[in-house]
Copies of this chain bind each other. A is one copy, B any other.
Amino acid sequence: MIKIATAIRKGAAAYLRRQYKGVGIFFAVVFAILLALSFLGYLNYFVPFAFLTGGFFSALSGFIGMKTATMANDRTAYAAQKGLNKGLRVAFSAGAVMGFVVVGLGLLDLSIWYFFLKFWYTNVKVMASESLMIQNITSNMLTFGMGASCMALFARVGGGIFTKAADVGADLVGKVEAGIPEDDPRNPAVIADNVGDNVGDVAGMGADLYESYVGSIVSTSALAVSAGLGSRGMAIPMILAAIGVICSIFGTFFVRTKEDATQKSLLRSLRLGTYISAGIIAVASFFVIRAILPQNMGVFYSVITGLLTGILIGFTTEYYTSDTYTPTKELSKTSETGSATVIIGGLSLGMMSTFFPVIIVGVAVLISFFACGGNIMSDAGFNKGLYGIGVAAVGMLSTLGITLATDAYGPIADNAGGIAEMAGLGEEVRNRTDALDSLGNTTAATGKGFAIGSAALTALALIAAYISEVHALAPRLSFNLSITNPPVLVGLFIGAMIPFLFAALTMDSVGKAAQSIVHEVRRQIKNIPGILEGTTEPDYASCVDLCTRSSQRLMIAPAILAVIVPIVVGLILGVNGVAGFLAGTTITGFVLAVMMSNAGGAWDNAKKHIEAGNFGGKGSDCHKAAVVGDTVGDPFKDTSGPAINILIKLTSMVSIVFAGLTVAFHLM
């Protein structure tokens, strides 16, 4: 166990080292550009540094999360020898470290900047009024989100490519060609596969939600000024976040189980932690808002709306992707007529599953807007409503500590299972880790629903922040955000197309990276004698290295796309076009991401449903057809779908940072 875990740890560390090197170059280049722009006067001089710290803290939270996860893998397997509850506690505790590191670092970075900027604008560069000071503070803090966003993109896309390339590569040659089981130490790509779970699902998800977290907080704070809610309104999101951390820690104590726990009761115990946290947050926020902002208790309803949105989207995700419900059961039935019908069925299920999340987010937008005193007739009333939408995003993300703990738990349990298998621990242990792992699939699916739902609300808050940022930069610039205004309309069109393009690029990257792994695994099996007999150890490190190199190389194109397009749209279509573009990306990206994540999750579980003995079980024709669905679903749910989350936030962030440039230069 120690040997295997060490290999995974080393592989993950090697991946991170190389990623940080590549990302370092990217950050250096962007930093230089931002510095040049700030010298030219298009940016505030704090922006380049805020950008750096955002990236640094995001990377740090990914790093710590992954260190913890890779340390907890074998410990979970070991603890599972003693019992199910012990295994659960170890895996979940490690996940909790990840969750609280993310929220802790987020709040730390926010606080440092807040106090520094407040000091600066009260002592060094004194502002004429308090509202002008808040304006300056928040608009500087916003740009710090761009650093977090860029880092998240690399973590999500790079990790997503890595994990799926290793997975597909290991399966295609190992399982299909050589006929050796999953997680078998004879497969040269098996360690890469395990490393992938950590870099994709732990570090990637952490950086993604870190970004949503700080993004929603700073954009909502920024909206407080134009909403006329002053410094108290600005403080609310941060206070809510702080409450959330404390309540989430409290919630983690309720995650425990009995030894004879079923799948269902395990899930219930994980859920219980989240629900208890959400409940306490709701109560605490009532008193806090009554104390700080008694004139606008609507803010409280926005918080509740956000909390409920997170829970409801989780439910619908589970309904569409878990094989305890009809949709996935029916999907596994389509395997009877071959792989083509499995594909059609999964795509159709994914498309169908977009209905409820859209309705839930739509209702949340309306409630949080109007509850906060939103009023489309006056500017201040309007901004109050937008502030309400932001608060809903913050409310949703206030449970992040425990939600992320539940989510990061999955890959740890998955890896523990792999280690138990490879180390040849007894069947009982393997059964326990299987129970923990299979639960991880469900929490991963709901975690993805949570991530995309919060990304959508955060992106809406960011769009609103973008518009108020432009207002502040160029008060006399006249906006026309009507959907019939051609630049807005064309922006909407382009925005609707970009998520598709981005998904295509990331899927292609997975395909290309997987190809290179396939060749490497084939080469090793052919050239190194004794691998299949288990007498010689395969060269795990070369597979890990290959995955690392391909994923780093192949994530460049999507990353550049996400950063360049909003700038180009701004230079051609102007601020109205950018607003349309951001709206188009957010709405279509949301729908597409939900579709891809849910289709992928359903294919995965439909396959598991067959493996559990239905429709002929493992090895049957139905199973083969379902495997095709699962393979298509892998990049859907673990690369492209989640990467779109980042896309919709990053494009907003880039637009905000480059707003000055767009205001100065634009064709229309």
Q: Which residues of B contact A343 (CB under 8 A)?
A: 343, 628, 632
A residues 475-531 near B (Cβ < 8 Å) are 479-490, 492-497, 500-501, 503-505, 507-508, 510-511, 515, 518
A355, CB-defined interface residue at 8 Å: yes
Q: Is A249 an interface residue (CB 8 A)?
A: no
**Is A339 among interface residues, defined by CB-CB distance under 8 A?**
yes
Report Cα–Cα, A483/B576, bound state, in Å.
10
Q: Is the CB of A214 closer than 8 A to any CB of chain B? A: no
Of the listed stretches A183-191, A201-209, A253-261, A460-468, chain B binds A460-468
The answer to the question of A280 belonging to the interface, with a C-beta cut-off of 8 Å to chain B, is no
**Is A501 in contact with B587, judged by CB distance below 8 angstroms?**
no
B588–A496 CB distance below 8 A:
yes
Q: Which of A238-246, A360-368, A399-407 contacts B (4 or more CB under 8 A)?
A: A360-368
Q: How far is the CA of A493 from the CA of B508 in the complex (A)?
A: 28
> Contact mask A344-376 → B, CB, 8 Å, 1/0?
110111111011001101100110011000101
Is residue A81 contacting chain B, with contact meaning CB distance below 8 A? no
Q: Which residues of chain B are within 8 angstroms of A507 by Cβ–Cβ distance?
A: 344, 347-348, 351
B361 to A590, Cβ gap below 8 A? no
Which of A101-109, A110-118, A577-585 lies on the face that meets chain B? A577-585
Dominant secondary structure of chain A at its interface with chain B: helix
Q: Is A385 an interface residue (CB 8 A)?
A: yes
**Count of chain copies:** 2
Complex formed: what's the CA distance from A340 to B590 in Å?
25
Contact (Cβ within 8 A) A354 B595: no
Q: Which residues of B contact A386 (CB under 8 A)?
A: 484
Q: How far is the CB of A105 from chain B (nearest CB, A)?
A: 31
Specify which chain B residues have a CB less than 8 angstroms from the CB of A91 in the assembled complex.
none
Chain B hits for A500, CB < 8 A: 351-352, 354, 591, 595
Instruction: Choose one: B340, B376, B508; the contact of A480 (CB below 8 Å).
Output: B376
Q: Which of A389, A483, A508, A635 has the most CB of B within 10 A?
A: A483
In residues 286-338 of chain A, which contact B (Cβ within 8 Å)?
334, 337-338
B residues within 8 A CB of A269? none
The smallest C-beta distance from A562 to any residue of chain B, in angstroms, reads: 15
